[in-house]
Each structure stands twice: as structure tokens, then as C-alpha cells.
Structure 1
Amino acid sequence: MTSAASDRPRTGRPALTEARRAATRREVALAAARLFIENGYTATTVEDIAAAAGMGLRTFYRYFAGKEDVLAPLLALGTQAWADELAACPPEVPLCEALARSYRTATSRTAAAEGIAEADLRPLVRAVTQLPALRATWLRIQQDTEARLVPLLAARTGRAPDDLDVVLTAAMANTAVRLGTERWAASDEPGSAADVVERCLARIAAHTLL
């Protein structure tokens, strides 16, 4: 005979559990980002990150394979924000402008929402894009970003997602954003990453659907 508790519907529990897990990963990623900004990646240990996040080492390793993977949720958050902003951009806005505008809005809003100062953003992105241990995560997120762009560009251009021009445009637009962000992070020139990204997008606009 089953108990009354076992007969209760469990609708929503897996989603709630996943949402909690995602929230915890995000909190740990933010704690790690602040430590990396303050102390540098090399000087920050997994123990430091776990302590800052208020958890033990065993709990940390339930959420992350290691220190090199800890910023992935934060990077993915920026990627999702860009996709959301692009999807919300009015269809009459030219594609190149829509990509640049949505990227600028997404990066500024994400940094502000997560409490990351603009002055701290460059050294953090520099570490993510240049340190071999973190670059693998950066490139994996970029690959995910390109996959997100394909259906969005297909919808904006009225073409099929497997249209070669759509796929090529997604790849080139994503590469322009990646290279622009990396060049900005590697330099000390004034301005934001969005400024460099906008210039990169403009450079390729004549050769794609942009």
C-alpha cells in the first residue's frame, strides 16, 4: 500500500531542483570572479572559492570539475543575455546593427546585474581569454553561442536554419564578437568591448547577410 505522501504529484520538482542547482553554480561563479579580480587566477585556490561561496570542498566538486570550469555559468549568462536581447530587437533594425546593439546592451546589463564594475571587467575577460586553463571554457561557450545564433538569424532573415548563408553568418558574427572581445581584453585602449565588437561586425558586414 502506498502512502499519501508517495501519491502526491511531483510536477515541477526536477525543474525546481535544476533551477536551484543553476542558481548555486551562478553564485559560486560570481564568488570566483571576485576572487580572480582581487587576487588573480593563479593565486586563488579552490579552497578560497569554496570558502567565499560558503560551501565545503566536497560540495564544490558536486557543481564543478575544477577551478578552470568555475566561470562557465557566468560566461553562459552573458551568452543567454545576448541571445535574449537579439530576439527582442525589432525586426526592422538591420541585422548588423541589431547584433551590435544587443551585444552592447547584454554585456552592460549583465555586468551591472552581477555587480561587476566596468574597471574590473577587462582583467577578468583577459584572464578568461588568455590563460590556457580558462580559454578552453571560453571557446566552449563561444561554440554554444554560435549554435544559439543560428535560429535567431534564420528567424530575422526569413531563411531556414540550415541555409548555408545563415550558418556562415552566424559563424562570422560570433567570430567577430569573440575576436573583438579578445582584442579589447588584451589592450588598454579606452572604450568598451562593445565598441571593438561593433567595429569588427562592421568590417565583415559587406560579405554576409549582415
Structure 2
Amino acid sequence: MTAEPLAEPTSEPGCRWPVPPRDGYTVDDLFTLPDLPPHTELIDGSLVFVSPQRRFHAKMIELLLNGLRRTVPKELKVEREMTVVLDRRNGPEPDLSVVRTEAVVDDLEQTRFQAADVLLAVEVVSPDSEARDRDTKPHKYAAAGIPHYWLVELGGANKHPVVRTYELDPVSKTYDLTGTHRDLLKLSAPYDIDIDITLDALREL
């Protein structure tokens, strides 16, 4: 579906917002609308803009990215902030994704992956994304058949990293909690993973 014309300028000089189509945006619109802010997502046909992030968000992504890549097998790749196409009206952008190597085309301008090629989606919670990361996105990732989901946030009195890991029940298409990790993230799925997620490890970055 093509996007509707831009709205009339607002009172703020130079500010023009796209008028949503009657049935909402599609994934095609997400990649063709001009001048969208970086990391714009599509959820249920609506565009979601990302607010400025805390330092925790950036550093936690970096910590997990380094740890995941350290042991990733050659048939998988770890990707940061890439759109995952779930269906025609949903194109979220996980903070991290583990995808099949064959899905990575030999083109540095690649912009998206299909849900069928994603084994793990990771979301680091921000104040503005809490409801989406805890409720909306895991429900949609599970419905699309993504086998593993991680929810990452600050917890406890000393605000240390907490990673909750989930695995898909293929029958119910819902996620089951498999662990809550506060110091060491040690897993055997989707591959052997061993990451120090202590507050000290985060502060060293």
C-alpha cells in the first residue's frame, strides 16, 4: 500500500507529518516513506518512533552483542537493530537478532530479515518501550514462530542487568520462561552462550 500524501504543515515551520492510510501502514511503507526517523518500527500498522535512549540501553546491547558473537557458530549471524518482517502490518526492530547465515545477503544495504530466518530476538527495555517489550512484541514474535526471546532490563536495588530468557512452545505459540539471569548468562540454546552480565562487566565497556 502506498502512503497517503503528507499533511499540511503544522504551526512549527518545516514540520510535515505523514497522514496514515485508512487501513494503517504496511511493511512496504516502512521502507519507502521519506525522512522517517532512524529505528522507526511498524506495530499493527502504526509507526512507532524511538525516544532518546539511556546509556544502559546502548551499553547492554554492546555487552550482549560481543558475548553472542564470541561463540556464534558459522551457520548463524548476530545482527543489531535490523527490522524483522513478521507480517504485512508488523515490522519491529529488535535490539539484537540471531539469524540464519543464509538470510544475510552479500549486500551491506540489506534492511530487513524475515521472521522465519530469526532464531532469537532480544529487547532491552527503555522507559518508553516497557509495554511493547514485555507484552506486544513477545506476543508477536511468538505468533511469528521465533524460537527464542530475551527481555533485558535493570533490576534490584543496585540496578544491575537482568536477562529473562524465553523459549517458544510450538503448539500454543507462546513463550515459556526458561530462566532469570543476573550475573552469568549461560545457555545451550539457540547455541552455547556464556556471557558475564554483571554490573562490573557493563561498566567496563
Higher RCO (C-alpha under 8 Å, 6+ residues apart):
1
| TM-score normalised by structure 1 residue count | 0.29
| TM-score normalised by structure 2 residue count | 0.29
Could you say which structure has the higher helix fraction?
1
